[in-house]
Amino acid sequence: MKSKLFLILISVVCTACTNMQTVASSKVASSELVLASELKWGPLNAARGKNSPRAATLWGDRNGVGATGFLVHFAEGFSSPPHIHNVTYRGVVIDGLVHNDDPGAAEMWMPAGSFWTQPKGEDHITAAKDRFNLAYIEIDSGPYLVLPSEEAFATHEQSVNVSPSNIVWLDSRDVTWIDKTASSASDQSVKMAFLWGSPKADQLNGTLLKLPKQFEGKIQSHEAILRAVVIQGQLNYQTTQSGVNILQAGSYFGSTSASTHDISCIHSNECLVYIRTTGRYDVHSK
């Protein structure tokens, strides 16, 4: 049975984050932007034909050797045969209900906002049961392959399943990444959850960022890479090239050098964004 992510681990990571100093940056990078409405879909596993989930690339190339992030759409009632992957992946549920576990494990349905990891070489199945099921998947190196269970192999990695109710949310009182103006006495404050990796400079890490309704501000990155995927809600994203863009769930924005991303969450109750970055980023409200 897959292991759960315990709160103590996140607390230790985030305590370290509060000791980090804000680094100012005046660099502006050309942003990357992919709208969910413009995605090109194809089979995740071409060998399974029409029985394969559908996939759409957000960044990178899952058939290449580098890191990549893509969306996977599972049909209602989908259940894969047992299989393995040649690389470890991370997943965030955007919509529906997803189950990912050992072939003999009891069903544990992960709703929207859940986070999980699938170690390379580990035999498992993936299933979905809602009318519409969508997840964001990312790998640190490719290509992404689906292989038979007979080729399973052991690693030191442990799988993780985290439901939204087990995620620890922090605000500006806990982390210096969120400025004080983005907090309030009520629950309507910017919040952050650390999921994986190290927030130290030049180290990859993944976080969830929760923005309250009516939030207007910016995300400022200081390192080489920032890749962000809208998980819930609807963002306004402004660039000098194309003006204001409406980002539905499943849309992507990012940059490959230090940059500032102007965003707002005014169309929905709250917005949830998954962010993969090197080092740290800061969140400022207007």
Rounded to 5 degrees, φ, ψ at 151 are: -100, 15
Report the pLDDT value the prediction gives residue 184, as an integer from 0 to 100.
59
Q: Are 100 and 110 in contact (CB under 8 A)?
A: yes
pTM of the model: 0.89
Mean pLDDT score across all residues of the chain = 88
List the single range of 18-22, 66-70, 110-114, 234-238 with lowest mean pLDDT.
Answer: 18-22
Report the pLDDT value the prediction gives residue 21, as an integer from 0 to 100.
34
Residues whose CB falls within 8 Å of the CB of residue 85, separated by 6 or more in sequence, listed in order: 118, 120, 121, 144, 145, 146, 147
53-164, superfamily in CATH? Jelly Rolls (2.60.120.10)
Report the pLDDT value the prediction gives residue 210, as an integer from 0 to 100.
97
Residues whose CB falls within 8 Å of the CB of residue 220, separated by 6 or more in sequence, listed in order: 25, 259, 260, 261, 281, 282, 283, 284
Q: Are 211 and 254 in contact (CB under 8 A)?
A: no
Q: Are 163 and 111 in contact (CB under 8 A)?
A: yes
Fold of 21-34+167-285: Jelly Rolls (2.60.120)
Per-position DSSP letters for 212-252, written without gaps between them: ETTEEEEEEE-SS-EEEEEEES-EEEEETTTEEEEE-TT-E
Report the pLDDT value the prediction gives residue 26, as an integer from 0 to 100.
32
pLDDT category of residue 16 using cuts at 50, 70 and 90: very low
Taking residues 21-50, what's their average pLDDT?
Answer: 75
pLDDT tens profile 167-192: 999 999 999 999 987 665 556 899 99
Structure tokens at 271: 């917005």
In the chain, ranges of CATH 2.60.120.10 domains: 21-34+167-285, 53-164
Percent of the chain with pLDDT over 70: 87
Q: Which residue has the higher pLDDT, 6 or 265?
A: 265
pLDDT category of residue 4 using cuts at 50, 70 and 90: very low
pLDDT tens profile 19-32: 333 333 334 456 79
Does the pLDDT at position 216 exceed 80? yes
Measured distance between the N- and C-terminal CA atoms of the chain, rounded to whole angstroms: 45
pLDDT category of residue 286 using cuts at 50, 70 and 90: confident
pLDDT category of residue 284 using cuts at 50, 70 and 90: very high
